[in-house]
Structure 1
């Protein structure tokens, strides 16, 4: 069984908690890596990847992802299967909701992207995480919809696990 590499960045600990829940929901082996302590080689060793980031400020990547971002263009994602997880606040940042995923997507879109989810159930103005009418990954608003987080994770993992 091939291992899935889950890379995340977290400032407040929320994304770190979310990736632990995601790992626990999988029946396959998932190895978690904080992007702050990761290298290009760490990512390249996996054919199956999950990238998770909250969105900060006006649609920015989390700080550790932002520092690592220039390295992403050095990685060939064309033979990789990638799922994305974004955290955001649709009420206070509705015009840049989960835009961090849009930043990551531009690097990984040459690979096989899995785990797109419906935009239904969210109220936001704009998001670069929407492509062809769907979110490009699992979207969580743990600020305003915390009661939906566990169910969204369970449903998403069931959906993507077969593609990994």
Structure 2
């Protein structure tokens, strides 16, 4: 069985809480303790064959980081460190937090930055999430590819009650990656 590495960016704690829920659901035999990306190196991520990466979206679809008002570094500062890294053979699943009412025009758009950065490094992105049938109501998201999100998208502000089912369904979809 493949051990899963879970890394997240956060300032308010939402993606951290989701990361902890994912780790608890998978169990300690399957997933290591989640790590805030500000405390990680590229080498840390490369230690895993399967990664679950999470990010919130700020403002106009931005990654969390110093320029968005975070108190500490986050994905904005980490992604440039991937330049030249080889993630070939690695499977990467993404999840993102967004607010589809307040930020309907850029709902969970920051997830696309993670998708593109890790794809460019050769990672296989897994866990695309269907929009249809999942009760989303937003105008636009850069995190859409062919009528699907590039990863699981959660709206903890407006649809927290849907998170447990969405999360479990997504983890069930990912299960073949670590078996």
Task: Pick the TM interval, shorter chain.
Answer: over 0.9
What residue is the counterpart of 1:92 in the other structure? 102
> Does the CA-based 8 Å contact 1:9-1:65 persist in structure 2?
yes
> Does the CA-based 8 Å contact 2:50-2:177 persist in structure 1?
no
Q: Which has the higher strand share?
A: 1
Runs of 4+ in 1 over 3 A off after TM superposition: none
Which is further off, 16-25 or 137-146? 16-25
Indicate whether 1:47 and 2:49 are aligned: yes
What residue is the counterpart of 1:70 in the other structure? 80
| 1:156 counterpart SS class | helix
What residue is the counterpart of 2:13 in the other structure? 13
Structure-1 separation of matches of 2:64 and 2:22? 19
| 1:86 counterpart SS class | strand
Structure-1 separation of matches of 2:177 and 2:43? 23
Gaps of 5+ in 1: none
Structure-2 separation of matches of 1:72 and 1:53? 16
What residue is the counterpart of 2:167 in the other structure? 153
Gaps of 5+ in 2: 66-73
CA RMSD of aligned residues (A): 1.2
| 1:49 counterpart SS class | strand
TM-score (norm 1): 0.95
What residue is the counterpart of 1:56 in the other structure? 58
| 2:88 counterpart SS class | coil
| 1:162 counterpart SS class | helix
What residue is the counterpart of 2:128 in the other structure? 116
How many residues are aligned here? Answer: 164
TM-score (norm 2): 0.87
